[in-house]
Structure 1
Amino acid sequence: MKTTIQTQFFVYYLFLSVIPLLALSYYSYASIKTNAEQELVNTISFDVRQSQSSLDNLYTRFQKYTDIISNSTTFYNSVISIASDIQTGNMQQAIYTGAMNLDPQIKSLFATDDDIAAALVVIDGRPVYSYKDFISINNHFDQNPIIANTINTPNMHWFSSQSNPFGLFDGEYTVITKNVYDIMGYNPKESLCQFIILVRQQRITDILNSHLRLADSMVSVMDDSHTIIASNMDGTAASSARFRDITNRIPSGRSGQDTQYIGRYLVLQSFSNVSSWHIIQLSPSRLVTKASSSIILFTVVLIISLLLVMFLFSYFISKEIILPIKRLAHAMKKVGEKNIVISIAKHSRNEIGEIINGFNQMVRRIDNLFKLTIEIEGQKRKSEIDMLKYQINPHFLYNTINSIRFSAMNHQDEVTAGMLVTLSRLLRNTLSHSDLAIQLQQEIQNIDDYIQLQQLRYNNLLHVEYRIDDQTRFLYVPHMILQPIVENAILHGLSQKLNSGEYAGIVISSQLTDNFIHVISVYDNGIGIPNAMLERILEQDASTIVSDSLHIGLVNIHKRIRLQYGEPYGIELESAEGLYANVRIVLPVLKHIDDTVPISFEQLEKNYT
C-alpha cells in the first residue's frame, strides 16, 4: 500500500508540477519576448521623434529666414526700387540694385548655413537676385508650376524632390517659397516678390536616415494633404504603391495611434509641433521579432533544467509526505469510530503540518459541538417543563381576576373592573402565547395594555406616542420584547418626573432600514443611563446580576436576540445622562412566523459560552 501511494503521489505531483512549470515558462518567454520587442519599438519611436525634431529645427530655421526677409525695411525698399526699374525697362539698374542692396543682406543671413544650396528673389517672374549662382534677369518663371502655385498664398510652401528646378539647377532639390507683400504700401494684399530657397534633397534624406535603426525601413515626411515632403524610398512604383497602401489604412488626423501593426509592417508616426508635417516609418515586423529570437534557446534550456530539478524534488517530497498522511488517515478512521478525543502530534511546519493542526482543531470543535448540543437539549427540556407549569398557573390567575372583577362590578367600581379586564388580557397574551414570535401590532397592543395599568398608578401623567411604520405592523418580532424595556423606561428613567409632575414622555417607533433590518426604538426623556454603565451594560452576564432589574431586562433581551438570530442583531443603547435614553432593538425582517436567520457554529458557540 505504501509503494502504491508513494508512486501515485510521485506521478501526480510531477504531473501537476510540469504543467504549471510549462505554463510559467511559456508566460516568461512571451513576456520577455514582448518586452524585448516593446523596448525595440520604443527605441525606434524615439529615433522617429528625433528625426521629427531635426526636421522641426530645419523648418523653424527656414521660417525664421523668410520672416526676417519679409519684415526687413532694407529688403522692402530694395524690392520696391527694383520693381520700379523693371517697369521702366531699366534692367541694368535693377541688376545693380539687387547686387548692391540685396546681396549683402542675404549673404549675412545665410553666411553660416551650409544647408542652403541657392536662393532667389523673383519679381514679376524675373529672377532679380540669385545667391551662390548667377541667373540672368532675362529668365521668365511666370509659367513655372512652383511660381504659379504659390503666387497668391501668404504661407511658406515646400516642394520636395524637384529635379532640375527652374531648368537652372542640376540635381534634386527641395524648393521653399515665401511671398513678400506690400505691407507698407497702398495694397497690403499685393505680392511684391517671391523669396525662394533651394535645399538639396539629399540633405533632408540624410536627416531621415541618420536616426534609422532598421535598414529596410521606409520613411517619409508628409503634410496634412498626404503630399510627400521627403522620403528615403528608392522611387520605384512597387515601393511607392506599397507605402501608399499602408498609409491609406492609417486613421487620419493626429488622434491616431503613434505605433501600430498594419499587415506585415510596424507603422510609427510622429507629428510636428511647429508645422503640418508628420513622419511615417514602415518597418517590416520580421525585423522587430528577429531581435528577440535569442530568447528562444535560453527558454528551452531553462525549461529542461527546471524539469530535471522538479523530477528530483518530486521524488524526494513524495517520501516526506507519505508518513504524515498515513498518521492522518489512521486518526480519521478513529474519529469515524466515535473516538473524538484523539490528537495527532505535529512534527513539521509545512502544509502537511497545517493540515494536521487543522484536523486537531476540527476534532476539538466537534467535541465542543457534542457537548454544546447536549447542553442545548437539556435547556430545551427544562423550557418544555417550565412551559407546562406556565400553562397550569394562568388558569388559576384568570379565574381569580374574574372573581375580583365581578366583586368590583357589584360594588360599582368600574375603574377597578376595567383595569382588571386590561390586566387579564395582558396576562393572557403574555402567559398563554406559545409561539416565540408574534406580529408587531399584537406586541404593541400588549404594551398599550401595560401602559394603561401604569397610567392608573401615575394618574395619567405618562405621555406615550406611537410612530409605527405601516410596513412593519405585520412583521414578526420576539414575544414580550418591548415590555421589559418600557418598564425600565417608566420605573428607572421617568419615575422622578412622574412623581414631581414634570412632563414624562415615551416614543415607541418602528421602521425598516435598507429593507432587511427592522429597528424598533423606545425613547424616553428621563434621567438617561450613566456613561460609565452605558459601554459595558450589555456585556454582563444576567446570572451574575442580582438587584439591578434594569440591567437584567436589557441583558436578557440582548442575549435572547443574539441566541435566536445572531449578529448583528440585538440591542443598541444611546443616552445622554440627565436628558434621555434611547433603546434600539435591531431585528431581521421576518414576514412569516416560521422565518429564521441562519447562524454559524462559531456564532452559536460564542452565544452559549
Structure 2
Amino acid sequence: MWNRVRDLLVPSSSFRFKVMFISIICLVIPATFTLFIYNYLTKDTIKEQAHSNANRELSIANEYVERLLEDMMYITNFIQVDAEMNTILKRKIKSTESQTSQQKYEQFLDDSKIIKTLENITLVGGKSYVTILLENGISYTNYSNYELNPKDIYSEDWFKQLNKTKGYETVWISSQPTMFKSEKPINPYQISVARTLRDESLNIYGYVIVTIMENKINQIFENMNGKEEMILLDSSNQIISHTNDDRVGEKFKYSDQLTENSSNIFEISRKDYLIAEQKISFTDWKLVSLIPYKQATNKINTIFNKVVAFQVVFFTIFLFLMTYFLRSITKPIVRLGNVADLVQKGNLNIRSHIQGKDEIGRLSSSFDQMLNTINKMIQDITATQERKRKAELDMLQAQINPHFLFNVLNSIRMKVMVKGDKESANMISSLSKLLRMTIAKDKEIITFQEEVQIVLDFINIMNMRQKEKVDVEITIQEAANLIMIPRFILQPIIENSIIHGLNQSAGKIIVNAEMTENEVIIIIEDNGGGMDEQTLSQLKRKLIHSHTLDNNTSKNNKGFSSIGISNVYERMFMTFGKEFKMDINSELEKGTQVIMSIPKGGRRPNVQSNAS
C-alpha cells in the first residue's frame, strides 16, 4: 500500500526530480500546517480583538448618548431643586383669580422669570422642549402653544405612570410620534424624560417634561467613524433610535440572548454579525451595535492574507534558488549515473573522474576504483582458469600412479595365492584396502560399518607384523552400522590400545556400539596395562582443550599411528559439535576404556561430506 502511494507521489524518474519533489513537499506541508495552526491559534485572539474593538466603539457612542440624556436629566433636576424656581411655582399653585394690581404685577414678573429661565435652558447640539405642568392647570414652556398645547400631554398613556412614581423618580419615555408641529415633517419621533414636582411633604404639585427629537441620538450614530449599525433599545428591547427611522418601534430579538455589557456572534440572514450591548447609566435603556463579523476582523484578516502572500513570494524565490543549487549538487550524480549506464552496456574502460571530498566525490572515486578492481579480477580469473585447466590435466596424469600401485599390489596378491600362501595374500589384500581408503579423498564421511572394516584390516596387518596376536571382539547393533562418522575414528584408538595398552603383546580388544533413544554409544576397551591417575588426568585435559589448539603437527606426520586420540576427539567435535562426548577410564594393570557418545541426528548441518 505504501509503495503504491510512494509511486504515485514520487514517480520513477531522475534522482534530481525526486530530490526537488521531496524538498517541495517538505516545504509546502510545514508551511501549510504553519498557516493552518496560525489561523487556528489566532482564531480566538481575532475574535477577542473583534469583540474588544466593537465594545470600544460602542463605549464611545454610549458616552455621547449618556451625555445627551444627562443633559435632559440636568434640566429636570434644575427645575426640581432650584430654590427660586420652586418658590415661584409653589406660589403659582396658591394663586387665585381675584388678585390685586400688585399681585398681578408680581405674577407677571414671576411668569417672566420662569419663561426666561426655560428659554435659557438648552442642550448641547440642539434644542430641547421643556414643559412644566402644575396641578391647578397652569403650564410653562419654552415653546409656543402653536407647537403644542401643553394640556394635550395629560392624555398621553405614559403620563399616568408619573403619579405612580415615588419621591424624585424619573420616567423615561421611549420614542413616540412627534407632538410638535414644526418638527413633524423632519423628525417623526421624540424622546422624553418626565418627573413629578413635590413639596416638602413629597406631595405632587406639578410635573416637568423634557423632550428632544430622536434624530439627536441618530446624529450621534451617524457621526461615528465606524461602519457599525447603532441601536438604542428600551427595557422591552424595542428600538428607540436607529439610523433608519422605519426601524423605530421594532422589537430587537437578539438582545434577549445577550447578558448586560457583553457581545456575541449571531447569524442574521445567513451572515454572521458581531453584536455588542452596553447599558445606559441611570436608565433601563441599552445601546447595541451590529457589525458584520468579516468586517470586524477585516484588518486582522488582511494581515493574515499578507502573510500568506509573503510566504508565496518567498516560496517562489526559494524554489528558483533550490532548483539552481540542486542542479549544481546533482550534476555529479547525473554524470555518475550516465557512466553506470555505459558500464552496464559492457564498457568497463570508462571512468567518471569526478573529484571531491564529499560523499558524492568519495562514491565516484570508489566507483572508479571498483571498475579498476573488476578489470583486475577479470584478468586474475582468466589467469586462474588457465592454471586450473593445467592443474586438471596434471591431476589426470597423477591419477595413473595410485591406480598403478593398486594394480601391482593386486597382482602380487594373486601370485602369492597361486603359490598357496593365503596368509600373505590376505595381508596384501588388507594393505591394499587400507591404502585405498587412506588415499581416497572423496570419502571423508563413511558409515560405521565401513569404519569397522578398516579396523579389521588394520588389526589383520598388525597381527601379521607382531609375534603375538590380538583378539578383537566386535558387537555392533544393526541400526548403528548406518550412522555416518568421519573415517579413521576407531583405527587410532585401536592402534593406541595395541601399541601403548598391550605393548604389542597378546591381548583382547572389545568394540561395542549400540543405539539409544537420543544417541549412539561406542565403547572400545582393552585388557592392557592401563594408566595411573596422573597420566589419565593429563590425557583428559588434553582432550578437553584439543579442539581449540592448532594441530598442524598431526597433519604433517605420516602413517596411521600418528593420527592420535586427540585428533579423533577434535575431528568428532568439529563434526558433531558440543553434543559429542568422549570419556576415558583406565586403571593400572586392568586396562583402558574409551567411551564416545554421538548424537542420533548425526553431524551438524554445516559439515558436509566430500562424497556427497
**TM bucket by the smaller chain?**
0.3 to 0.5
TM-score by length of 2: 0.43
| Structure with bigger gyration radius | 2
